[in-house]
Amino acid sequence: MEKNCSENRHAPENLELFFDMVENARDGINITQNGVFKYVNKAFCDMLGYSREEICCINASDLLAPSDKERMMEQHFLRMQGIGKYGLDYTTLLHKNGSEVEIEFNVTHITYQSENASFISIRDITERKRMQQKLEQSEYKYRNLVDNAHDGIIINQFGKFKFVNPAFCKMIEYSEEELIENDFANFLAEDDRERLTQYHKLRMEGSRHNMIYEAKGISKSGRIIHFEINTSYIEYNGHPATFIIMRDHTEQKGLEETLKASEKKYRTLIEKSLDGILISQDSKIVMVNKAFADMLEFSVEECLEKFGSEHIDPEDRGWIVRYHLERMKGNLTDLTFTLRLFTKSGKRVITECSSTAIEIDGRPASLITSRDITSRIKMQEALEKSERKFRELADLLPQIIYELDINGYVTYVNKTGREAFGMKEGDINPHASDAVIPEERSRMQENVKNALMGIRSNFFNEYTALRNDGTTFPAIVYAAPMVENDQIVGLRGLIVDISERKAMEEALRKSEQKFRELADLLPQTIFELDLDGNVTYLNKAGKIAFGLSENEIGFQATTGVIPEDHDRLLDNIKKAFVEKGREGGMEYTALRRDGTTFPIVIYSSPLTENGEIKGVRGLIVDISERKAMEEALRKSEEHYRHVIQSLQEGLFVLQDEKFLFVNDAIVDILGYTVEEMTGKHFSAVIPPEFRDEAVRKNIRRKSGHDDSWSYEFRLLHKDGKTRIPVILSTNLTELDGKTAVVGTAKDITDRIKAEEEIKAAHKRLEEINRDLEQTIRERTKELTKANTQLLKLQKENLQSQFDVLKQQVNPHFLFNSLNVLTSLIRLEPELAEKFTEHLAKVYRYVLENKDNELVNLSTEMSFLDAYIFLINIRFMDKVQVNISIPEEKKNHRIIPLAMQLLIENAIKHNAMSKKSPLVIDIFIDSDNLLNVVNNLQEREAHMTSTGVGLKNIQNRYKLLNNTAPIFEKTETHFVARIPLVTEYQN
């Protein structure tokens, strides 16, 4: 470097300006030649943290990042030969402190000291790349957020859409192409168009205020959409624009009023239900109606507190717990089942239950309707009257419920209210006005006073509520007088925290859905009539039972029964207005729309509003099942008696140790008639020698022992001598309130005879098998010894042949390489040094793999890289070797040095020059054969070819017992196809 700088100082005067420009350039500048820096400017030194003296002592390759070093050095040495790539490129350098420096550089060819060199200008782009990457990540993140948002997002500028996201397009039913550059006002409802146009005009005039408001839009199909709109000012393409977020509130608007109106109706249906209704969640009962509590002789409070798995019959307890756990996981939907329960007094009640999946507070729960069917099963009583009132669960409501006395002091507030206002147990009852901020207390006191006097100025009033901790929340207060003995004694009302309005809407929707499902899931028909006897409501079960369409309503009640029952039905409806329900219900013959009939029982009571009767509400029970039960039981008994008598196994019933019932099969086995055996003591069919054992088994059976009650036994024939072998299977049961034994007896006389014959044959087969095993062991030992000796001899012979063949390769290769090295030492010592390194790699490979029969292609190719370097030095540009081996094939195996022999063979037999180089292509064909193909430029032969190399390859594959290589010559090419050995061929 000092020599170069000295030469620059003595350069002609017209070069001084150029030198100053290079020295003071902001970009790094250097000149490299044969991997060494010949010149570097100050900017380049500063860029990497080195001084000029330090860089002079460093090879250029040491400043390159390892990931790109091989490529950069290969390009450099190609440029040194005058054939490299020039122009703009990118790479990574290493700073003195070890950090990486991303650079952009431009390479120009120059001649320096009469040799090829590279003039390189370098610019540090580390920060630029970092900022570019960060910008790309940021843009992707925000684009992803906008495109995946559930709210509509648009940009409006000069009244036209400039941007719309997919959510907005879906809301308004237009594509992005249809909206962009279209007028924003065209998609607004007529009554909102002028107002929103004025808002946008102010925005375009530079107004930067943010706005949140509601407006209506029109979809492509003409549907009105209620939007909540949030707007803000932005600049878009250098001009003011409006950034708008739109949320579709159409469904919530409609739901709010509909849910409120329907909740009261469905709550009343639940309260009037004759069936028990309960809701369970997380293995706990969270709600029961009075009908269910009465069924189990509990109060509602006792049922919620005490009802548990111990009140379920042990035989039902396991599966009902599994059903509930699966329901809590969301795996079950609707179920209908029979469940046996125990009441408070211990009486067993059989219930018919319908269960469906619901959600409470976002978690799975079970809604269960339960009917006591104990009396129906025993056919002793008609259906019991169920309680139909449902206790109001104020503490479970999400709203605040309160009561005030005549002076305006709070006398009651539910749990939600206590939590909302931060009240604790034992707090002194505050005045109502203390629950609002001071500025609104006089207004509240005036409203409370008017309400207590019966003056209603407004149904509700809005206040700012004040919690005990001083925080506030907006609320709407509803109030109504409490009347006792025609005197107003206080106020009762509802407080709604409107800061959670959205949560309330969702709660209302769930509430309506819950009560609608309850009514429609009840198996009975629920109806309502007006004073004229017209049907005003009918649940899903009723419409199905009477064959009505979904929307059919308003018809006369008498059309649902046969004409003979019309007058009686009308009389009973009138009586229901006066008598407030009838004990036990009334029976009628119902008439479906298709003309078919079925028997029913109707229970009803007056429907009142504000103390006035407005109609009738009731329950219809289809009693077809009860009417058909006796006939079904008779047919069932006849069927099963026929099945029992048809059994091939003997069947009997013992009670009080006597045969109560026997079928034809058992009497045939023992030689009796049915009449003879019925009533006979069981000991009559037990041989004397087995009677003590039979008595012991009978005693253990009665005491409840868990012995196996299926066993082999012998019964005594009627002749008193014959012992008949049987398999007895018995089981305890209850018959007419007394313990009985039900059993079967299967005659196994034939089976025992067959087993004895099988045992004898098995013994003979074992003897034959032992003789065969001994013979096989002796013959196997003799064969194994002879085979081992033969394999040993074959292996020794093959190894000796293989070692001789490999010795033909190594001297030939080494001789050629040493000739080249001798020439290089005299002409180019530096290149000779590199040649020696690659030659060492090649020969090291020969030594390491000389004892290997096969090597991986990846190993052979690593050797070939070093070998081709030697070829390039030896022949310059006269030989071109192109290798194309897929990555997945590099685990296949080949004999060592096969490709080197074929390349040497091509060089030996062909002429070559820079204009007409020898081209050798190495690839794998579709037959999984390695192809080594060279163009034919045959040289004049001065000596006859011995073919040692090709014969060597053939002989080595022959020793491996593998497919033989194929060598063929065409008019233009010589082709060698070498078999590859896969891992499955090992």
The total of structural domains in the chain comes to: 7
* Alpha-carbon distances of 517 from 285, 292, 395, 954, rounded to whole Å: 19, 18, 23, 85
Give the residue-averaged pLDDT of 806-819.
56
In the predicted structure, residue 185 carries a pLDDT above the cut 70: yes
Measured in degrees and rounded to the nearest 5, phi and psi for residue 59 equal -70, 145
Question: Is residue 790 one of the residues assigned to a domain?
Answer: no
For 391-395, 412-416, 481-485, 776-780, which range has the lowest pLDDT when averaged over its residues? 391-395
User: Which among 923, 928, 932 has a CA at the least distance from the CA of 979?
Assistant: 928
d(CA 921, CA 906): 11
Q: What is the pLDDT of residue 961?
A: 65
* Position with higher pLDDT, 162 vs 830: 162
In the predicted structure, residue 807 carries a pLDDT above the cut 60: no
Please tell me whether residues 886 and 977 are part of one structural domain: yes
Q: What is the pLDDT of residue 7?
A: 44
d(CA 421, CA 401): 12
In the predicted structure, residue 931 carries a pLDDT above the cut 90: yes
The burial class, CB within 10 Å (0-12 / 13-18 / 19+), for 172 is buried
In the predicted structure, residue 15 carries a pLDDT above the cut 50: yes
d(CA 502, CA 249): 10
Q: What is the pLDDT of residue 881?
A: 92
**Tens digit of each residue's pLDDT (9 = 90 or more) over 548-588:** 988 888 899 899 999 999 999 888 888 877 765 554 578 89
**pLDDT band at residue 806 using 50, 70 and 90 as cut-offs:** very low
* Calculated CA dihedral for residues 283, 287, 292, 294, nearest 10 degrees: 110
Question: Is residue 432 one of the residues assigned to a domain?
Answer: yes
* Alpha-carbon distances of 910 from 826, 936, 941, rounded to whole Å: 27, 7, 10
15: number of Cβ within 10 Å:
10
Nearest-10 crossing angle of helices 857-875, 810-827: 40
Please tell me whether residues 96 and 224 are part of one structural domain: no
In the numeric block, which tokens belong to residue 242? 């409006």
Give the residue-averaged pLDDT of 389-405.
70
843-852 LR contacts (CB < 8 Å, sep 24+): 843/814, 843/817, 846/809, 846/810, 846/813, 846/896, 846/897, 849/896, 849/897, 850/806, 850/810, 850/896, 852/896
User: Which among 562, 583, 652 has a CA at the least distance from the CA of 386?
Assistant: 583
**pLDDT band at residue 686 using 50, 70 and 90 as cut-offs:** confident
> What is the maximum span of the chain, computed from C-alpha positions, in angstroms?
147
d(CA 72, CA 53): 23
Question: Is residue 755 one of the residues assigned to a domain?
Answer: no
For 594-598, 691-695, 722-726, 937-941, which range has the lowest pLDDT when averaged over its residues? 722-726
**pLDDT band at residue 707 using 50, 70 and 90 as cut-offs:** low
331: number of Cβ within 10 Å:
11
H or E element that contains 758: helix 749-806
Contact 494, 400 (CB under 8 A): yes
**pLDDT band at residue 947 using 50, 70 and 90 as cut-offs:** low
Contact 297, 344 (CB under 8 A): yes
Q: What is the pLDDT of residue 923?
A: 94
What's the chain's Rg over C-alpha atoms? 51
d(CA 217, CA 185): 9
**pLDDT band at residue 447 using 50, 70 and 90 as cut-offs:** confident
**Tens digit of each residue's pLDDT (9 = 90 or more) over 852-893:** 888 998 888 888 888 888 888 878 788 999 999 998 888 889
Altogether, the residues listed in the chain come to a count of 986
Residues 6+ apart with CB under 8 A from 728: 709, 710, 711, 712, 713, 743, 744, 745
Q: What is the pLDDT of residue 11?
A: 44
Out of 335, 353, 378, a domain closes at 378
Residues 6+ apart with CB under 8 A from 839: 817, 821, 870
d(CA 262, CA 776): 89
* Position with higher pLDDT, 816 vs 154: 154
Give the residue-averaged pLDDT of 453-464.
73
Contact 793, 786 (CB under 8 A): no
d(CA 547, CA 594): 7
In the numeric block, which tokens belong to residue 957? 């594959």
In the predicted structure, residue 142 carries a pLDDT above the cut 50: yes
**Tens digit of each residue's pLDDT (9 = 90 or more) over 892-930:** 899 888 888 898 888 888 889 888 999 999 999 988 899
Question: Is residue 640 one of the residues assigned to a domain?
Answer: no
d(CA 946, CA 950): 9
Q: Which residues of 708-744 are buried (b: 16+ CB within 10 A; e: fewer)?
A: ebeeebebbeeeeeeebbbebebeeeeeeeeebbbbb
In the predicted structure, residue 56 carries a pLDDT above the cut 50: yes
Q: What is the pLDDT of residue 803?
A: 47
Give the residue-averaged pLDDT of 116-138.
83
CATH of residue 184:
3.30.450.20
* Alpha-carbon distances of 460 from 46, 259, 446, 505, 961, rounded to whole Å: 79, 19, 13, 18, 101
- β-strand pairing of 710-716 with 723-735: antiparallel
Specify the DSSP class assigned to residue 449: H
**Tens digit of each residue's pLDDT (9 = 90 or more) over 954-974:** 877 777 766 789 999 998 999
Q: What is the pLDDT of residue 512?
A: 56
Please tell me whether residues 350 and 222 are part of one structural domain: no
Please tell me whether residues 473 and 581 are part of one structural domain: no
Q: Is 678 left (phi over 0), alpha (psi -120 to 50) or beta?
A: beta
**Tens digit of each residue's pLDDT (9 = 90 or more) over 64-86:** 999 888 888 888 888 888 887 78
DSSP string, 319-353: HHHHHHHHHHTT----EEEEEEEE-TTS-EEEEEE
d(CA 435, CA 423): 11
User: What percent of the chain shows pLDDT beyond 90?
Assistant: 9
CA angle (108 as vertex; 106, 112 as ends), nearest 5: 135
Question: Is residue 797 one of the residues assigned to a domain?
Answer: no
Please tell me whether residues 308 and 222 are part of one structural domain: no
d(CA 206, CA 234): 10
Beta bridge partners of 277: 369
Specify the DSSP class assigned to residue 939: P
* Domain of 215, in residue numbers: 149-248
User: Which among 890, 872, 882 has a CA at the least distance from the CA of 835?
Assistant: 872
Please tell me whether residues 114 and 200 are part of one structural domain: no
For 68-82, 238-252, 267-281, 572-586, which range has the lowest pLDDT when averaged over its residues? 572-586
Please tell me whether residues 841 and 964 are part of one structural domain: yes
Give the residue-averaged pLDDT of 310-319.
84
**What mean pLDDT, rounded, does the chain reach?**
80
Residues 6+ apart with CB under 8 A from 247: 151, 152, 227, 228, 229
Please tell me whether residues 850 and 886 are part of one structural domain: yes
Question: Is residue 515 one of the residues assigned to a domain?
Answer: no
In the predicted structure, residue 720 carries a pLDDT above the cut 60: yes
Please tell me whether residues 847 and 905 are part of one structural domain: yes
Residue with tokens 């709010």: 256
In the predicted structure, residue 940 carries a pLDDT above the cut 80: no
Residues 6+ apart with CB under 8 A from 296: 303, 307, 311, 341, 342, 343, 344, 349
Please tell me whether residues 730 and 844 are part of one structural domain: no
**pLDDT band at residue 796 using 50, 70 and 90 as cut-offs:** very low
Q: What is the pLDDT of residue 459?
A: 59
Q: What is the pLDDT of residue 93?
A: 92
Question: Is residue 468 one of the residues assigned to a domain?
Answer: yes
- β-strand pairing of 966-969 with 929-935: unpaired
d(CA 945, CA 942): 9
d(CA 67, CA 90): 13
Out of 500, 516, 536, a domain closes at 500
Contact 714, 728 (CB under 8 A): no
In the predicted structure, residue 589 carries a pLDDT above the cut 90: yes
Residue with tokens 């540090």: 124
Residues 6+ apart with CB under 8 A from 979: 929, 930, 957, 962, 963, 964, 965
Question: Is residue 794 one of the residues assigned to a domain?
Answer: no
Out of 214, 248, 282, a domain closes at 248
Please tell me whether residues 547 and 614 are part of one structural domain: yes
User: Which among 389, 378, 189, 422 has a CA at the least distance from the CA of 269?
Assistant: 389
d(CA 555, CA 819): 117
H or E element that contains 356: strand 348-360
Q: What is the pLDDT of residue 588?
A: 92
d(CA 208, CA 232): 7
Specify the DSSP class assigned to residue 915: S
Please tell me whether residues 100 and 26 are part of one structural domain: yes
